Structure 1
């Protein structure tokens, strides 16, 4: 297990690193081009691929796609899969795209085109709900912009490797379709942040789940433990030896297993678990560390953050 620590943030993972001096031939990155109708879910599709570990570039001019792939090939394997979201507002869009695709084909780059489609009625409702104009409507109506874009995209839609009609899909259903196509046989990963904090400094605004360690005795009132934090063995042993502490850890870990399975089904890839005590120095820190270790043992990539540990 590897650990990296900096400014109160520790990355915990089960990955292994290569031995010094090892070198492997870096393959040309795999490429996915995401396009389609404005309002049909291009951003959601791109975000899904980003959560699956793809390097995503939004609104890249088609002429620059080969350059992006070349840069990825120079990354020593750090960028193995690239997703590019392209927009048809430029008049030379198709000329540039044809040239780029021909260039990629000559270099034997594996690429797929994903086209997001939707009905006119669904697109109109979406633009009206966010009170924004269609990018191609100009001085006309939303339907005029949709018609113009559909005409411009007709050829690209015919060339697409995957067409997804999002007319009746919600965000979670679209993510599920993208997962089915690009996640492979492996179950999409869930990444967790376990954050200790002090209630007197306020709740973390980005917390998905919050648990309160103030039901345990406070080491602050034990003179020999007060100067230390929950990272010390003395404080950690004190906290975990209290009645209910280990039971809480066991049962909350079981609960997180249930929640994590539901998050994966709903397409949620990130979860922040906030563990609080009065000052965020002793009980919450010790329990956050133990909880993170349990998550790692379950195969969850975990980051530990001690938000208030350094405060007086």
Structure 2
């Protein structure tokens, strides 16, 4: 049995993630009390039922602090039974969550009594911290569209090869903030900026003219080579430690030229070396709204 445990902050996209896994053939259970997790997983394994070969469970903040604090202990029986499981933690910035609650007119599950929304979000973040500490995948949906979140869930959970670490390399613009879910963050603002070339300003790092401009720079070549060498050296160490996922973020000023180019080049490099890699360009134009 393969078990995906979806958890995180309210309005961060947990329902979207669970529905995506359901579409991929997972048997889904919503809002499971956390103390039932070991018993449920053990019972499903004993049944040897094909329906339960792929199972996804969502757990929200409506549990006691003591139950959340004991999550590491609650996961031990799953490890003892050699159940393949992954904890996926979804979150977003406070201002994003407040905006989503306002747009959807949903009530936060922790706003009982006189607690305002901002305090409820802060309390929930504190309450869910033990889950974040054991998460295999951390996804910040602050600037993620519905389509992108569905794609991330499919590529990082349902399509991943179990034998190798899964790499997500994403570009971003420092103007829009650093991704909260990155394991490594690299700053490419020291490289030549195509923005100052009028003919390249409206293009992106995916366009041939921008690629030619950046590819002709020795600084860009050295930066790219050093970055690839560093990752080649240390990715195997993460695999040795049992990591299944690694998120690498490369930023430039606006997330349009330099970071996009480097992400595309790294993807070509690692795919040629047999690595499983997904790319994401966070700050390039998108059409869909963010997940609720």
Return the TM-score normalized by structure 1. 0.48
Q: 2:57 aligns with which of 56, 67, 84?
A: 84
Moved over 4 A (4+): none
Structure 1 residue 119: Cα displacement: 0.4
For residues 169 and 80 of structure 1, the distance between their equivalents in structure 2, rounded to whole angstroms, comes to 29
Q: What is the match of residue 123 of structure 1?
A: 97
Q: What is the match of residue 152 of structure 2?
A: 177
Structure 1 residue 95: Cα displacement: 4.6
Structure 1 residue 53: Cα displacement: 0.7
Q: What is the match of residue 10 of structure 2?
A: 38
Larger Rg: 1
What secondary structure, in the 3-state scheme, does the structure 2 residue paired with 1:134 have?
coil
For residues 103 and 155 of structure 1, the distance between their equivalents in structure 2, rounded to whole angstroms, comes to 17
For residues 104 and 35 of structure 1, the distance between their equivalents in structure 2, rounded to whole angstroms, comes to 17
For residues 92 and 160 of structure 2, the distance between their equivalents in structure 1, rounded to whole angstroms, comes to 28
The answer to whether the Cα contact below 8 Å between 2:72 and 2:134 also exists between their aligned partners in 1 is: no
Q: What is the match of residue 114 of structure 1?
A: 88
Q: 1:52 aligns with which of 11, 21, 24?
A: 24
Instruction: Quote the RMSD (CA, aligned, Å).
Output: 2.0
Structure 1 residue 75: Cα displacement: 3.9
Matches within 5 A, 1:47-196: 47-73=19-45, 74-91=47-64, 92-95=66-69, 97-138=71-112, 139-184=114-159
Evaluate the alpha carbon distance shift between residue 95 and residue 119 of structure 1 in structure 2; reply closer, same or farther with a 3 A threshold. closer
For residues 89 and 119 of structure 1, the distance between their equivalents in structure 2, rounded to whole angstroms, comes to 20
The answer to whether the Cα contact below 8 Å between 2:91 and 2:141 also exists between their aligned partners in 1 is: yes
Return the TM-score normalized by structure 2. 0.51
Q: What is the match of residue 234 of structure 1?
A: none
Structure 1 residue 113: Cα displacement: 0.4
Structure 1 residue 133: Cα displacement: 2.4
Structure 1, unaligned runs of 5 or more: 1-28, 187-265, 267-312
What secondary structure, in the 3-state scheme, does the structure 2 residue paired with 1:35 have?
strand
Structure 1 residue 81: Cα displacement: 1.2
Deviations 1:130-177 (A, max 9, x none): 112211122222101000001111222122100011001121111011
For residues 162 and 169 of structure 1, the distance between their equivalents in structure 2, rounded to whole angstroms, comes to 15
What secondary structure, in the 3-state scheme, does the structure 2 residue paired with 1:78 have?
helix
